[in-house]
Amino acid sequence: MTAIAPQKRRGLFRRKLTDRIVAVLSVLALFIAVAGMIWILYTVLAHGASVLSWTFLSQPSKPYGVMNGGIANALLGTVAITLGATLIGIPPALLGGIYLAEFAKGTRTGDVVRFAANVMMGMPSVVVGLFVYAILVVPMHGFSGLAGSVALAILMFPVVLRTTEDMLLMVPDSLRESALALGCSRARTAVRIICRSARSGLVTGIMLAVARVSGETAPLLFTALWSDAWPTHYFSEPTANLPVLVTEYATNSPFEAQHAAGWGAALVVTVMVLLLNISTRIIFKEKHNGR
Amino acid sequence: MTNNLKSIINPARSDRLFRIAAGGSAILVVALLAALLIQLGVGSAPAWRKFGLGFLIGTGWDPVANVYGALPSIAGTLLTTALALIIAIPPAFVTALWLVDAPPGIGEVLSQALDLLAAIPSVIYGMWGLFILVPLMQNRIQPFLSDTLHLGKIPFFGEYGNGFGFLTASLILALMILPYMSAVMRNVFQMTPSMLRESAFGIGCTRWETAKDIVMRYGIRGLLGGIFIGLGRALGETMAVLFVIGNVTTVPKSLYDSGTTIAATLANNFGEADGIMRAVLFALGLVLLLLALGVQVLAQYYLMMTGAKRGEQ
């Protein structure tokens, strides 16, 4: 008995030590990840804040070498392209989500669609850009904001489809049955009853998808490209947008002033995306706690 | 009367119409996936005709002589992805583990912070990498690794670099995919029946032992699914890599070398691409698409298996 006891104690000590070490490493890893995020945000803020001014936000960008350019055209272009993507991508995504949740529960078609949507969610955005280039830019003989919108819409589509399905499935079946018992058609039940009661969830899904694609860059390189003009020819010509402006200024420009402008644009993009993201989360959470 | 009639006849018909529209929209996802494959296949056909399958292992990249090979891009993609995974998997695993039973308040805040890290646009990561991380690598980290730790003696590691290259790109990628993998792993851990964990604690297991012998074994497929999700993101990431990889079309010889990945080659060369070069870029896109497709199918399979297993319980 006495011979075994010390050994056991050492075993326990080592096990506890291992446990402690892993706990410390976990906290350290978390710290590094969060510190990385804060570092990135701080860098963008520190470099970007100094160039922000009313002129910067209200003037269009200028060609290389011309001073005092702004980012107003790119800001408008980003809004136009994202809005276009929302208009193109959201309606079919909502309809498809309704189909999965209301008409295809447990069917083979449902499984196939769900699988394809999950796979599409993981598609590299650069490949989607290449695809839209082939189906839109080549036939239309030129880059356009519309092509950019289509690329972003393709990226949003599977995401919103799946969140819509998830949100609709959270609505209790008793609600469905009550509506059907009152004589509503399946379509009317789905749209007027189920979608309405899952509304805040649907809006959250859409907003998060919009936030995600509004910072996308790679697909826009192949579709909307870039321009110094105001985005008045959204349907037929290259359209200015913030992410590509950041890329251009940071990598292709030798001018210090344009590096600074790039940081300013980066700050605007980051604030836009994060504000959209955070406010959506807060609103959704409040709605849910309220229930 | 007519109004009444309308309301009697219309529902059935509008119901059918709605159902068709909804079904059509759902099928659109499948159609898009198929169209993606077909379009890239068609677009890349001239390249396959000219170079054959040897294109995949060709190392040349000469727009003047019209000789192209995919090996530098493919090797670069695989190298950055593998390195990013090696760097990111351990911290993703332990953070997920810690967050699952962290004190509620702190856990909540830190989870949200990780989600925000995932929400930052990749072009911002790229810019931060270019202006902050590249000089830091060049002036501090690479000299430290080579002169102080003498890691340069390891074959393939590399002695001195200019800050750009595979190690820098992989570090950024690791930071980008960490929150994604951590989130999936967190979900997997939460799926473990609490009965199992409590039993383990009951017979005197420490938290780490419970995690590695019970939770990890139980959710191993889900963990693999999470890793594949991260893998998929790292494979196709364009902007963050483009900014810091150096963009040289050569096969990597060391971690400090500048190089390229499929996505970076696409973004970099597309502006001036014409004729056969455009077909070559489509071929590269097709390779990337097939890689991503394989990874996603595996990821979905493993994640589905976890769900199925839970269903049995």
Give residue A288's pLDDT band: very low, low, confident or very high (50, 70, 90).
low
**Highest averaged pLDDT of the listed ranges A61-75, A193-207, B268-282:** A193-207
Inform me whether the C-beta atom of residue A96 falls under 8 Å from chain B C-beta atoms: yes
pLDDT tens by residue, A182-239: 988 888 888 888 888 888 889 989 999 999 899 899 999 999 888 888 888 888 889 9
Helices (H) and strands (E) in chain A, counts: 13, 0
- Comparing CB atoms, the residue among A26, A157, A247 nearest residue B123 is A247
Asked whether residue B15 is assigned to any structural domain, the reply reads no
Partners of residue A210 in chain B, C-beta under 8 Å: none
Question: What CATH number corresponds to the domain at position B189?
Answer: 1.10.3720.10
Euclidean distance between CA atoms B118 and A91, whole angstroms? 26
> Residues 50-89, chain B: which have Cβ within 8 Å of A?
none
DSSP three-state, residue B62: strand
Give residue B3's pLDDT band: very low, low, confident or very high (50, 70, 90).
low
Euclidean distance between CA atoms B37 and A130, whole angstroms? 11
Q: Do both A72 and A18 map to the same domain?
A: no
| Nearest Cα residue in chain A from B43 | A134
Q: ∠ CA(A152), CA(A156), CA(A160), 5° rounding?
A: 165
Which has more pLDDT, A291 or B225? Answer: B225
Task: State the nearest Cα–Cα gap between B74 and chain A, in angstroms.
Answer: 15
Percent of chain B with pLDDT over 90: 40
Inform me whether the C-beta atom of residue A161 falls under 8 Å from chain B C-beta atoms: yes
Q: Which of A1-5, A253-257, B31-35 has the lowest mean pLDDT?
A: A1-5
* DSSP structure class, residue B52: G
Q: Which pLDDT belongs to residue B313?
A: 38
Give residue B162's pLDDT band: very low, low, confident or very high (50, 70, 90).
confident
Inform me whether the C-beta atom of residue B285 falls under 8 Å from chain A C-beta atoms: yes
Tokens representing A133 are: 């280039």
Q: What is the mean pLDDT of residues B114-139?
A: 90
* B207: nearest Cα among A44, A26, A228: A26
Q: Which pLDDT belongs to residue B52?
A: 87
| Nearest Cα residue in chain B from A210 | B119
Partners of residue A95 in chain B, C-beta under 8 Å: 21-22, 24-26
Please, what's the largest Cα pairwise distance for chain A?
88
Q: Do both A113 and A237 map to the same domain?
A: yes
Q: Do both A9 and A105 map to the same domain?
A: no
Asked whether residue B71 is assigned to any structural domain, the reply reads yes
What is the amino acid identity at position B12? A
Q: Which of A24-28, B120-124, B247-251 has the lowest mean pLDDT?
A: B247-251
Contact between B167 and B255 (Cβ < 8 Å)? yes
Asked whether residue B30 is assigned to any structural domain, the reply reads no
Q: What is the mean pLDDT of residues A33-53?
A: 92
Percent of chain A with pLDDT over 70: 95
What is the amino acid identity at position B53? L
Inform me whether the C-beta atom of residue A27 falls under 8 Å from chain B C-beta atoms: yes
* DSSP structure class, residue A61: P
What ipTM score was computed for the predicted complex, to two decimals?
0.88
Q: Do both A176 and A208 map to the same domain?
A: yes
Partners of residue A154 in chain B, C-beta under 8 Å: 32
Q: Do both A14 and A102 map to the same domain?
A: no
Q: Which pLDDT belongs to residue B1?
A: 45
Which has more pLDDT, A199 or A289? Answer: A199
Helix, strand and coil content of chain B, in percent to the nearest 5, comes to 80, 0, 20
Q: Do both A215 and A265 map to the same domain?
A: yes
Q: Do both A88 and A138 map to the same domain?
A: yes
Name the average pLDDT for chain A: 88
DSSP three-state, residue B289: helix
Contact between B228 and B302 (Cβ < 8 Å)? yes
Q: What is the mean pLDDT of residues A28-46?
A: 92
How many structural domains comprise chain B? 1
The pTM (predicted TM-score) of the whole model is 0.90
Q: Do both A235 and A269 map to the same domain?
A: yes
- Comparing CB atoms, the residue among B23, B40, B270 nearest residue A222 is B270
Give residue A163's pLDDT band: very low, low, confident or very high (50, 70, 90).
very high
Euclidean distance between CA atoms A237 and A225, whole angstroms? 9
Inspect the interface and report whether the beta carbons of A131 and B207 lie closer than 8 Å: no
Partners of residue B28 in chain A, C-beta under 8 Å: 92, 96, 157
Inspect the interface and report whether the beta carbons of B229 and A44 lie closer than 8 Å: no
Q: Which pLDDT belongs to residue A2?
A: 47
Partners of residue B184 in chain A, C-beta under 8 Å: none
pLDDT tens by residue, B40-49: 999 999 999 9
Q: Which of A3-7, A13-17, A34-38, B245-249 has the lowest mean pLDDT?
A: A3-7
Inform me whether the C-beta atom of residue A33 falls under 8 Å from chain B C-beta atoms: yes
Inform me whether the C-beta atom of residue A49 falls under 8 Å from chain B C-beta atoms: no
How many structural domains comprise chain A? 2
Q: Which pLDDT belongs to residue A192?
A: 85
Q: What is the mean pLDDT of residues A134-151?
A: 91
Question: What CATH number corresponds to the domain at position A235?
Answer: 1.10.3720.10
Euclidean distance between CA atoms B60 and B72, whole angstroms? 8
Euclidean distance between CA atoms A288 and B8, whole angstroms? 38
pLDDT tens by residue, B62-76: 888 888 889 999 999
Q: Which pLDDT belongs to residue B309?
A: 58
> Alpha carbon A74 to chain centroid distance?
19
> Alpha carbon A173 to chain centroid distance?
31
Tell me the residue range of the domain where A236 lies.
57-290
Q: Do both A29 and A83 map to the same domain?
A: no
Give residue B282's pLDDT band: very low, low, confident or very high (50, 70, 90).
very high
Euclidean distance between CA atoms A29 and A48, whole angstroms? 28
Tell me the residue range of the domain where B119 lies.
55-312
Does B145 score more than 50 pLDDT? yes
Partners of residue A215 in chain B, C-beta under 8 Å: 120-124
DSSP E strands in chain B: the ranges are 61-62, 67-68
Asked whether residue B12 is assigned to any structural domain, the reply reads no
Which has more pLDDT, A10 or B168? Answer: B168
Q: Which pLDDT belongs to residue B9?
A: 55
**Highest averaged pLDDT of the listed ranges A249-258, A270-279, B93-102, B192-201:** A270-279
Inform me whether the C-beta atom of residue A119 falls under 8 Å from chain B C-beta atoms: yes
* A234: nearest Cα among A62, A85, A63: A85
Residue B49: strand pairing partners: none
* B172: nearest Cα among B81, B111, B108: B81
| Nearest Cα residue in chain B from A276 | B119
Inform me whether the C-beta atom of residue A249 falls under 8 Å from chain B C-beta atoms: no
Name the average pLDDT for chain B: 86
Give residue A273's pLDDT band: very low, low, confident or very high (50, 70, 90).
very high
Q: Do both A197 and A232 map to the same domain?
A: yes
- Comparing CB atoms, the residue among B26, B125, B292 nearest residue A122 is B292
Tokens representing B19 are: 């159902």
> Alpha carbon B5 to chain centroid distance?
56
- Comparing CB atoms, the residue among B25, B120, B235 nearest residue A40 is B120
Inform me whether the C-beta atom of residue A29 falls under 8 Å from chain B C-beta atoms: yes
Chain A contact probe: residue of B30, B124, B215, B303 with most A CBs at under 10 A: B124
- Comparing CB atoms, the residue among A32, A154, A269 nearest residue B32 is A154
Inspect the interface and report whether the beta carbons of B94 and A270 lie closer than 8 Å: no
- Comparing CB atoms, the residue among A25, A91, A246 nearest residue B123 is A246
